[in-house]
């Protein structure tokens, strides 16, 4: 029909709009391709790009056009600059164990920081913080604060080298210990760089990114998680030069892959046999797997350990700790310091957070909430006839669409993460935010137990899974 006024096909116009609407509904609700409204963030991205490389302060947050700019958080919910609300499942990569903007911690920190923040002198808050850290973990006798997990692992490695008078340190492929040079060996995030890891039986040290001196990488020996034969060969070959094994008790950087029975016990025995120290990097697992972290959970006593994340509920608190003997090289024989080490904000946050974890049932609540989420997800996935396994601990877990979990990084890199990645991205668009990269586990905090978070997470997951599966069918990809 002609528009009597302007000669436009009104009918045609309406049909076009109707067709577009149908496509939009199909694309959005069936294929799950609807996009969030994010004009403020797009603008901020362009602005930030002019000053911050990648538009952020960390490579891990540089998600291109999807880079998230945050406004605020409260409990388990966060709001971006455009006002989109999400249930947070990243929790800042793990530190926010109680919930965002927790009044108990913030009020205490606020009160203490008004007495001054940085003196480069020692406050009671620091002493109390490290007393609590030793008390909750049980085994360490001495501890010192640092500002980041990176610093903590750097100092723990130096202490181990000083104690033993040896240079080399064994680390496991795929494990992340921060961004200092020694830590950035054989982390290898990209599946297309797998060849650089060397033969499975004899892995080679591969620096992650440029700028790491080769002399540094040569002091690191990569091993494979859960591959005890490789580890023993390394010790038989170079045992006299090995100062320590540093290990994240679970493969936190690959969905929290768990140790096989006997793995940690054998490592403990092997280090003792060859006079090397055992460093547990508990930056992710500490005060999360239990009050005594992974050491308590697995029943292993290391010589040194590093902590950060959950100890300060998101404030920049970190520490390294150890047995009396291992830490005896401080203060006289090993350099450690830092203008901000033990600063009031971090120390007060640690005191309050660790007191809450010690005196309340927060960790039990978190574990139970994680189990409830897992039960809901299992039902959803099971109903769709897909295989799945959870890795890690209910407070920090990965979801793998397979019959069996991989046992180490190389195997993990070979598995199909595309379905998971699509689900994670779809969840963000629907109001829950797990990390879009399947390496990172989901993190549960105490506040997730409140309201109807669990049900909402499961519903959002189900919708997103359906959309991802539909997309696969649509694109002819095998499920």
Q: Considering the complex, what minimum distance in angstroms separates the CB of residue 90 from ligand PMP?
A: 11
Show the beta-strand stretches assigned E in 1-133.
Answer: 70-74, 77-80, 85-88
Q: Which of residues 5-34 bind ligand PMP (CB under 6 A)?
A: none
440 binds ligand PMP (CB under 6 A): no
Binding segment for ligand PMP (CB under 6 A), chosen from 13-21, 173-181, 197-205, 361-369, is: 173-181
The one among 178, 222, 259, 426 contacting ligand PMP by CB under 6 A? 178
Of the residues 45, 86, 93, 442, which one makes contact with ligand PMP according to CB under 6 A: 93
- Candidates 11-19, 118-126, 146-154, 362-370 — which segment interacts with ligand PMP by CB under 6 A? 146-154
- Is 141 annotated in the active site? no
Question: Is 281 known to be catalytic?
Answer: yes
Q: Which residue is nearest to ligand PMP (CB)?
A: 149
Taking CB under 6 A as the criterion, the residue among 69, 176, 182, 461 binding ligand PMP is 176
**Site track 288-317 with ligand PMP (rule: CB under 6 A), x = hit:** --------------------x---------
Among 102, 173, 248, 453, binds ligand PMP (CB under 6 A): 248
Closest CB to ligand PMP among 150 and 217? 150
Supply the DSSP string of 132-182, one letter for each residue.
Answer: HHHHHHSS--EEEEESSHHHHHHHHHHHHHHHHT--EEEEETT----SSTT
- Decide: 287 and 357 in contact? Cβ < 8 Å: yes
Q: Between 148 and 167, how does the x/- string for binding to ligand PMP read (CB under 6 A)?
A: xxx--x--------------
Say how many residues make up the chain: 479
In Å, what is the CA distance from 44 to each residue of 56, 68, 285, 389, 435? 10, 9, 34, 38, 21
Rounded Cα gap, residues 448 and 277, in angstroms: 38
Q: Compute the least distance from the CB of residue 85 to ligand PMP, in Å.
A: 25
Report how far residue 287's alpha carbon sits from residue 196's, in angstroms, rounded to the nearest whole number: 35
Q: Smaller CB distance to ligand PMP: residue 32 or 259? A: 259
Catalytic position from the list 86, 176, 182, 225: 176
- Whether 73 and 309 have beta carbons less than 8 Å apart is answered as no
Q: Please state the closest distance from residue 311 (CB atom) to ligand PMP, in A.
A: 11
Question: Segment near ligand PMP (CB under 6 A), from 24-32, 147-155, 190-198, 365-373?
Answer: 147-155
The count of other CB atoms within 10 Å of the CB of residue 16 is 11
d(CA 462, CA 443): 19
**Residue closer to ligand PMP, measured from CB, 126 or 248:** 248
- What secondary structure does DSSP assign to 180-221, as a single string? STTTSBS----GGGGGGG--TTS----BSSS---HHHHTTEE
Which string of DSSP letters, residue by residue, matches 302-320?
-SEEEE-GGGGTTSS-EEE
Applying CB under 6 A, which part among 96-104, 174-182, 377-385, 453-461 lies near ligand PMP?
174-182
Q: How many residues bind ligand PMP (CB under 6 A)?
A: 15
Q: How far apart are CA 465 and CA 442, in angstroms?
A: 16
Binders of ligand PMP in range 256-295 (CB under 6 A): 281, 283-284
Q: What kind and span of H or E run contains 392?
A: strand 389-393
**Is 177 among the residues that bind ligand PMP (CB under 6 A)?**
yes
- 416-449 core/surface letters (b: 16 or more CB in 10 A; e: else): ebebbebbbbbbbbbbbbbbbebbbbbbbbbbbb
**Least distance (Å) between residue 403 CB and ligand PMP:** 28
Q: Which is nearer to ligand PMP, 91 or 105 (CB)?
A: 91
- The token duo for 294 is 């992974």
- Minimum distance from CB of 239 to ligand PMP (Å)? 25
From residue 193, how far is each of 75, 185, 204, 408, 410 by CA, in Å?
A: 38, 13, 13, 16, 11
| Shortest distance (Å) from residue 352 CB to ligand PMP | 19
Q: Is 197 in the site for ligand PMP (CB under 6 A)?
A: no
Which residue number, 73 or 178, has a Cβ lying nearer to ligand PMP?
178
32 or 140: CB nearest ligand PMP = 140
CA 431 to chain centroid, in Å, comes to: 20
Tokens of 325: 């003997």
DSSP code, position 18:
H
On whether the CB atoms of residues 322 and 140 are closer than 8 A, the answer is: yes
Query: In angstroms, rounded to a whole number, what is the distance separating the alpha carbons of residues 479 and 49?
Result: 38
* Shortest reach from residue 254's CB to ligand PMP, in Å: 11
- Residue recorded with tokens 């992710």: 284
Sheet holding 432-433, edge to edge: 70-74, 77-80, 85-88, 432-433
**How far apart are CB 391 and ligand PMP at their closest, in Å?**
15
Q: Name which of 44 and 143 has its Cβ closer to ligand PMP.
A: 143
Out of 102, 281, 303, 453, which one is annotated catalytic?
Answer: 281
Which one of 168, 284, 309, 352 is the catalytic residue? 309
In whole angstroms, the minimum distance from the beta carbon of 267 to ligand PMP comes to 16
Binding site for ligand PMP (CB under 6 A): 93, 148-150, 153, 176-178, 248, 252, 281, 283-284, 308, 318
Residues marked as catalytic: 176, 281, 309
């Amino acid at each position: 029909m002609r528009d009597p006024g302007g000669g436009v096909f009104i009918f045609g116009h309406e049909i076009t709009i109707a067709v577009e609407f149908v496509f939009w509904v199909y694309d959005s609700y069936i294929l799950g391709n609807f996009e969030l409204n994010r004009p403020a963030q797009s603008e901020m991205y362009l602005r930030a790009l002019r000053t911050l490389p990648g538009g952020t302060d960390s490579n891990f947050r540089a998600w291109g056009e999807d880079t998230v700019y945050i406004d605020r958080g409260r409990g388990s919910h966060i709001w971006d600059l455009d006002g989109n609300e999400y249930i947070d499942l990243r929790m800042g990569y793990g530190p926010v164990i109680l919930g965002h903007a927790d009044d108990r911690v913030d009020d205490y920190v606020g009160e203490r920081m008004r007495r001054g923040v940085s003196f480069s002198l020692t406050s009671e808050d620091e002493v109390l913080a490290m007393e609590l850290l030793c008390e909750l973990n049980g085994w360490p006798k001495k501890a010192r604060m640092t500002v980041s997990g990176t610093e903590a692992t750097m100092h723990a490695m130096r202490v181990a080298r000083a104690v033993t008078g040896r240079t080399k340190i064994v680390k496991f492929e795929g494990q992340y210990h921060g961004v200092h040079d020694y830590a950035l060996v054989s982390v290898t995030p990209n599946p297309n760089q797998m060849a650089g890891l060397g033969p499975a039986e004899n892995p080679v040290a591969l620096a992650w990114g440029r700028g790491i001196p080769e002399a540094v990488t040569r002091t690191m020996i990569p091993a494979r998680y859960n591959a005890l034969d490789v580890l023993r060969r390394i010790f038989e070959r170079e045992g006299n030069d090995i100062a320590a094994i540093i290990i994240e008790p679970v493969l936190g950087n690959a969905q929290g892959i768990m140790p096989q029975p006997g793995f940690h016990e054998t490592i403990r025995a092997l280090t003792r046999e060859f006079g090397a120290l055992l460093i547990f990097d508990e930056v992710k697992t500490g005060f999360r797997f239990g009050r005594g972290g992974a050491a308590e959970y697995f029943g292993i006593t290391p010589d040194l350990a590093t902590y950060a994340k959950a100890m300060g509920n998101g404030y920049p608190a970190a520490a390294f700790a150890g047995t009396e003997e291992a830490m005896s090289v401080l203060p006289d024989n090993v350099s450690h310091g830092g203008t901000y080490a033990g600063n009031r904000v971090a120390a007060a946050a640690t005191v309050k957070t660790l007191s809450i974890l010690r005196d309340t049932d927060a960790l039990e609540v978190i574990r139970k909430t994680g189990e409830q989420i897992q039960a809901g997800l299992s039902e959803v996935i099971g109903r769709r006839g897909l295989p799945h396994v959870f890795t890690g601990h209910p407070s920090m877990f990965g979801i793998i669409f397979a019959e069996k979990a991989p046992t180490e990084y190389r195997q993990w890199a070979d598995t199909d993460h595309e379905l998971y990645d699509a689900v994670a991205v779809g969840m963000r668009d629907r109001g829950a935010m797990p990390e879009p990269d399947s390496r990172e586990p989901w993190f549960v905090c105490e506040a997730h137990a409140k309201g109807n978070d669990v049900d909402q997470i499961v519903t959002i997951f189900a919708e997103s899974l359906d959309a991802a599966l539909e997309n696969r069918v649509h694109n002819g990809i095998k499920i």
